[in-house]
Amino acid sequence: MAEKIKKVEEKEITRANGMPVLLISLIGLLACVALFITSMVTDNTLSDTLSLCLCIVSVIGAVICIIILAGLHIVNPNEAIVMTLFGQYYGTIKKQGFYWTNPFVTLVAPGKVAGQNVRKKISLKTVTLNNKQQKVNDALGNPIIIGAVAVWKVINPTDAVFNVDDYSTFLSIQCDSTIRKIARLYPYDLLTDNDDNDEEHEKTLRGSSQEIAENMKEELQKKVKAAGILVEEVRITHLSYAEEIAAAMLQRQQATAIIAARKKIVEGAVSMVQMAINQLAEDEIVMLDEERKAAMVSNLLVVLCGNKEAQPVVNSSSIY
């Protein structure tokens, strides 16, 4: 996109301090008014031709003073104005102050908003764009709801007003498309557990949100660079499954957690049973054949892996 847009080189225009110009113009305007009144109220001391000349001069002087006053501009902190002169780019002012420039220049508005007064000053402040939540499909085709915020500011006001119609709307649309593009490259979460000690794990929207937000920032910056915008940060603010599959995915997560807990319980129970059998054999407390060992293992596993506490049964007779 940046290659297709004709680049307008930004330049600082020649400007003067506006306060002296304001004072001189006001004094000149008052002098013209006084001259006009004098030419109208004089008696026959002046000829009609001279009175007419003074009247015309005062009117012309007043018009010139008004035109000069039109060249005064106030630039507030973190603001900029872009000017054109008869359809050609004239220059940009980004430094705060009270200035006087060519009175025939035109301030370029950054965009057109129907029914609203368009400001002709471009804000250079840092702004937060709260992107609305949108439904997209992840890499596995599951519908998810995702939302993000982008922190940005205008660093080149000339590009912001000449390369796009409304840079804030342009950024919002590009942010939507970037979120959709990046979200489709990653799954929301891994559907299978990886038991291997492998350092290379697949990135997911839930597990690698910071890295994915950084990718969104880089992708968004490429798209809005031509508009003179700097994207400082992108953060994912909302991430969830869509309503139609949220319940099913919650059941899957619960089942995964239960399986993982049961696995730990069984591993611990097996090690405890093995330790008990080995301890009995080493201390020669009781000699068990294979059948009795199998029964003991079964009973211990039931006790250790059960959800409820076992009720002991005391055998007062022979164990055989």
Report, as an integer, the average pLDDT of 195-203. Answer: 52
Report, as an integer, the average pLDDT of 300-304. Answer: 71
Type of residue found at 22: L
Determine the straight-line distance between the first and last CA of the chain, rounded to whole angstroms: 88
Would you say residue 6 has pLDDT above 70? no
pLDDT score recorded for residue 197: 42
> Which residue's entry shows tokens 């700097």?
230
- CA–CA distance, 92 with 117 (Å, rounded to integer): 22
- CA–CA distance, 242 with 173 (Å, rounded to integer): 22
DSSP assignment of 94-115 equals -S-EEEE--TT-EEPPS---TT
DSSP H helix total and E strand total for the chain = 7, 11
- CA–CA distance, 180 with 174 (Å, rounded to integer): 10
pLDDT score recorded for residue 261: 77
Does residue 123 sit in helix, strand or coil? strand
Rounded (10°) CA dihedral 23, 29, 31, 37? -150
- CA–CA distance, 246 with 94 (Å, rounded to integer): 50
Can you say how many angstroms the Cα of residue 31 is from the centroid of all Cα atoms in its chain?
Answer: 55
pLDDT score recorded for residue 3: 46
Report, as an integer, the average pLDDT of 128-134. Answer: 85
Would you say residue 13 has pLDDT above 80? no
**C-alpha to C-alpha distances, 142 to 14, 129, 135, 169, 193, nearest whole angstrom:** 58, 26, 10, 29, 18
Neighbours of 248 (CB within 10 A): 11
Higher pLDDT: 199 or 98? It is: 98
Report, as an integer, the average pLDDT of 249-276. Answer: 76
Please check whether residue 107 is in contact with residue 158, taking contact to mean a CB–CB distance below 8 angstroms: no
* pLDDT interval class at 195 (50, 70, 90): very low
- CA–CA distance, 278 with 297 (Å, rounded to integer): 12
* pLDDT interval class at 198 (50, 70, 90): very low
Q: Percent of the chain having pLDDT more than 90?
A: 3
As its CATH architecture, domain 127-241 has: 2-Layer Sandwich (3.30)
Report, as an integer, the average pLDDT of 197-208. Answer: 64
**C-alpha to C-alpha distances, 30 to 34, 41, 43, 54, nearest whole angstrom:** 6, 17, 22, 14
Would you say residue 290 has pLDDT above 80? no
pLDDT score recorded for residue 151: 92
C-alpha closest to that of 93 among 8, 6, 10: 10
User: Domain map of the chain by residue range?
Assistant: 16-108, 127-241, 247-305
Would you say residue 318 has pLDDT above 60? no
* pLDDT interval class at 2 (50, 70, 90): very low
The residues near 295 (Cβ < 8 Å, ≥ 6 apart) are none
- CA–CA distance, 34 with 98 (Å, rounded to integer): 28
For 100, phi and psi rounded to 5 degrees? -125, 130
Number of residues that make up the chain: 320
- CA–CA distance, 190 with 187 (Å, rounded to integer): 7
Please check whether residue 59 is in contact with residue 36, taking contact to mean a CB–CB distance below 8 angstroms: yes
